Amino acid sequence: MYGMVNRSIERMVVADHGEDFWERVKRDAGVDVEVFISHEGYSDQLTYALLGALSEIEGTPLSEVLVRFGIHWAVVTAQEGYPDLMAAGGRDLREFLINLPEFHSRVSMVLPHLQPPEFACSDVAERSLRLHYRSGRAGLAPFVLGLVKGLGQIYETAVEVEPVASKAAGADHDEFLVRW
């Protein structure tokens, strides 16, 4: 993954717990990188190791860490780093979600080596829809849940995200019922 993902984890951890705690997360994860470069590629394993170590040291389940990171990614990293891309995503939460399947193709213009997730929407109604998420990467469904919550914060819209199918539990892909 692009280094900006690890930088974003670093920023969240330092904000929550301070610099020393972040150094401990890296040490426990076996990560020997002083500074992550945003536009450089790093192994997915490194990112998983950082999140796993954070979960261990905090004593927080990994799924909760991923939800928190999803909110942080949307509200802080995406909003501050790419305000124009985010604004082009839609005028409200509903529109953003409907446009989400195309979102990362625009991101790919800035980040050509992106290996993006795949999204699709179905059952689109005025105040709800089903969001389908597919990825070659495992275990990131709680990250998606956090991202959608973060989008709710961005659009100041109360949103509920309910996982209704899980790849980890044998379904074809992850699916969420999103209501606002």
CB of residue 114 vs ligand HEM: minimum separation in angstroms?
5
Candidates 2, 159, 151, 14; CA nearest to 78 is: 151
Q: Does 147 bind ligand HEM (CB under 6 A)?
A: yes
Nearer to ligand HEM, 2 or 36 (CB): 2
Q: Tell me if residue 122 falls in helix, strand or coil.
A: strand
Nearer to ligand HEM, 21 or 82 (CB): 82
- DSSP H helices in 93-157: 93-110, 141-154
CB of residue 33 vs ligand HEM: minimum separation in angstroms?
16
Number of other residues whose CB lies within 10 A of the CB of residue 65: 24
Cross-sheet strand order for the sheet of 160-165:
118-122, 128-134, 174-179, 160-165
Candidates 79, 67, 85, 74; CA nearest to 142 is: 67
Q: Under rule CB under 6 A, how many of the chain's residues touch ligand HEM? A: 24
User: What part of residues 96-115 is at the interface with ligand HEM (CB under 6 A)?
Assistant: 100, 104, 107, 111, 114-115
DSSP 34: S
Site string for ligand HEM, 69-98 (x = CB under 6 A): -----x---x---x--xx------------
Number of other residues whose CB lies within 10 A of the CB of residue 140: 22
- Token look-up 């930088």 returns 7
The encoded tokens of residue 121 equal 């929407």
Q: Does 140 bind ligand HEM (CB under 6 A)?
A: yes
Q: Does 157 bind ligand HEM (CB under 6 A)?
A: no
Nearer to ligand HEM, 22 or 77 (CB): 77
List interacting residues with ligand HEM (CB under 6 A).
1-2, 4-5, 74, 78, 82, 85-86, 100, 104, 107, 111, 114-115, 117, 135, 137, 140, 143-144, 147-148, 151
